[in-house]
């Protein structure tokens, strides 16, 4: 017999199903996956409110379907193989075939429904970092929802209330899942005009991430806390990071989010920029100031904007110099200035392949061509038109060209420096540097070089 209480429950269930819509629950939106690590063309919206789409460096935007006025997306958390640079593949966890996952692009005021399917070997959830949303949609496993168990699909639904730059990542076994590459960008475009959000000609986005993958292996060491050996943008390392190709005079926005374990001062050459927004929203114009480097702390996002009025190939990189390196050991003594020719001969009797390293700096590492294990990249790599850049990791190039067509994101090749405008070798006579006259010459300074053999008792 149907008690009054049970009848009431049944009626509520029926009503809520009808409200959500049978079609919405009848089938999941089509699962779209990406197999390529190349930068994909911006996804121009063919339904819903119009906006100027972003370009995700070495990434892509997830298509959606409109279902009775709701934008529906389908994210699948799953193991992926990510090419971090040509010749180097990593076994990561990500979404829809890639790490990071696809960028989600919506417009302020949109109602969004996100289906999240878990194909990982452990539970997960997704937190929508920076969003204003109902508490139960915040995605913190254990706090605001049960974790999504392997094989299960959860639905998140909310309205994109605030325009800005956001990200998404798991909030279940966060340490492991973020170290394995689970993250993605979220852009909420403004609805109509917003006085604090400029219209731009090019809009790029990427996430800062870091991995610890032993040369020759494929899977990140997820217990590493600080000493990562791969510093990446969107799980790519230089020279695997695509350049940011723009037309001279373009207003350019670059959106950067940090999901590593340390801060990254992002430095741009040739132009000054302003930070126009954070994951807290647009910064009022009166509170902005010019910069050429801005620090992106852990869990933060920054929007940089500038007018690309100087033609050329301009480096953009993290200013922590160890973050513009690829896989390397850090426990190496400095050998600069050490004359170890004598000791090398002795070591060679024991270890025939021993090489003297770093006695004139580490720049020679790019030319040594030491045999590398399979599936890794040299510590410093990436050739330009004038030789090696002696950098890896968190580096790219902003290519500003007069004849780049509007909307054309293709790599125009290296910049042709106008004649007479490049640094050149001086071959004329060198003047003696003037010295201050002193009555008595200072005593010569004695320097004793500590040789590595002194440490080894
Ligand atoms: Cu850095």
3-state SS, one letter per residue, for the chain: CCCHHHHHHHHHHHHHHHHHCHHHHHCCCCCCCCCCCCCCCCCCCCCCCCCCCCEECCCCECCCEEECCEEEEEEEEEEEEEEEECCEEEEEEEECCECCCCEEEEECCCEEEEEEEECCCCCECCEEECCCCCHHHCCCECCCECCECCCCEEEEEEECCCCEEEEEECCCCHHHHHHCCCCEEEEEECCCCECCECCCCEEEEEEEEEECCCCCCCCCCCCCCCCCCEEEECCECECCCCCEEEECCCEEEEEEEECCCCCEEEEECCCCEEEEEECCEECCHHHCCEECEEEECCCCEEEEEEECCCCEEEEEEECCHHHHCCCCCCCCCCCCCCCCHHHHHHHHHHCCCCCCCCECECCCHHHHCCCCCCCCCCCCEEEECCEEEEECECEEEEEEECCCCCCCCCCCCCCCCCCCCCCCCCCCCCCCCCCCCCCCCCCCCCCCCCCHHHHCC
CA of 175 to the centre of ligand 1 (A): 19
CA of 32 to the centre of ligand 1 (A): 32
CA of 296 to the centre of ligand 1 (A): 9
Q: Residue 7 pLDDT more than 60? A: no
161-171 average pLDDT score: 97
pLDDT of residue 337: 65
CA of 263 to the centre of ligand 1 (A): 6
Q: Residue 16 pLDDT more than 70? A: no
CA of 395 to the centre of ligand 1 (A): 10
Give 84-121 pLDDT, tens digit per residue: 998 899 999 999 999 999 999 999 999 999 999 999 99
257-263 average pLDDT score: 97
CA of 346 to the centre of ligand 1 (A): 39
Q: Choose the CATH number for 26-199 among 3.90.1150.10, 2.60.40.420, 2.40.37.10, 3.40.640.10.
A: 2.60.40.420
CA of 256 to the centre of ligand 1 (A): 12
CA of 153 to the centre of ligand 1 (A): 35
CA of 265 to the centre of ligand 1 (A): 6
CA of 220 to the centre of ligand 1 (A): 18
CA of 342 to the centre of ligand 1 (A): 38
CA of 283 to the centre of ligand 1 (A): 24
Mean pLDDT across the chain: 87
Domain ranges (residues) in the chain: 26-199, 332-375
CA of 394 to the centre of ligand 1 (A): 7
175-198 average pLDDT score: 95
CA of 54 to the centre of ligand 1 (A): 23
Q: Residue 1 pLDDT more than 50? A: no
CA of 160 to the centre of ligand 1 (A): 31
CA of 264 to the centre of ligand 1 (A): 4
């Amino acid at each position: 017999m149907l008690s009054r209480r049970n009848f009431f429950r049944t009626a509520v269930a029926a009503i809520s199903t009808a409200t959500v819509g049978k079609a919405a629950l009848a089938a999941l939106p089509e699962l779209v996956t990406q197999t390529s690590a190349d930068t994909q063309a911006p996804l121009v919206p063919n339904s819903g409110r119009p906006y100027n789409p972003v370009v995700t460096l070495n990434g892509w935007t997830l298509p959606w379907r409109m279902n009775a006025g709701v934008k529906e997306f389908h994210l699948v958390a799953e193991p992926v193989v990510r090419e971090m640079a040509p010749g180097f593949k990593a076994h990561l966890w990500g979404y829809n075939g890639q790490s990071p996952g696809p960028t989600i692009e919506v417009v302020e005021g949109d109602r969004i429904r996100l289906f999240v399917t878990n194909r990982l070997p452990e539970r997960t959830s997704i937190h929508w970092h920076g969003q204003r949303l109902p508490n139960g949609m915040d995605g913190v496993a254990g706090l605001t929802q049960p974790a999504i168990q392997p094989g299960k699909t959860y639905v998140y639904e909310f309205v994109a209330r605030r325009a800005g730059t956001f990200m998404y990542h798991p909030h279940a076994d966060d340490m492991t899942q973020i170290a394995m590459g689970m993250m993605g960008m979220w852009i909420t475009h403004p609805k109509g005009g917003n006085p604090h959000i400029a219209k731009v000609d090019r809009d790029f986005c990427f996430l800062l991430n870091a991995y610890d993958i032993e040369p020759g292996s494929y899977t990140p060491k997820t217990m590493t806390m600080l000493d990562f050996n791969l510093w990446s943008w969107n799980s790519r390392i230089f020279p695997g990071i695509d350049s940011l190709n723009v037309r001279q005079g373009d207003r350019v926005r670059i959106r950067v989010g940090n999901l590593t374990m340390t801060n990254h001062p992002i430095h741009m050459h040739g132009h000054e920029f302003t930070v126009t927004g954070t994951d807290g929203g647009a910064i009022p114009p009166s509170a902005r100031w010019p910069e050429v480097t801005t620090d992106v702390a852990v869990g933060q996002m920054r929007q940089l904007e500038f007018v690309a009025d100087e033609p050329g190939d301009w480096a953009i990189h993290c200013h922590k110099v160890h973050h513009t390196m690829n896989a390397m050991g850090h426990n190496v003594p400095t050998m600069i200035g050490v004359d170890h020719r004598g000791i090398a001969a002795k070591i060679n009797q024991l270890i025939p392949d021993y090489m003297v390293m770093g006695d004139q700096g580490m720049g020679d590492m790019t030319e040594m061509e030491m045999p590398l294990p399979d599936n890794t990249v040299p510590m410093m790599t990436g050739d330009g038109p004038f030789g090696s850049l002696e950098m890896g990791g968190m580096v790219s190039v902003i290519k500003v060209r007069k004849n780049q067509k509007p909307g054309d994101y293709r790599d125009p090749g290296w910049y042709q420096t106008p004649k007479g405008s490049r640094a050149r070798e001086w071959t004329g006579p060198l003047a003696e540097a003037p010295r201050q006259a002193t009555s008595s010459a200072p005593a010569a300074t004695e320097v004793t070089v500590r040789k590595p053999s002194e440490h080894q008792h």
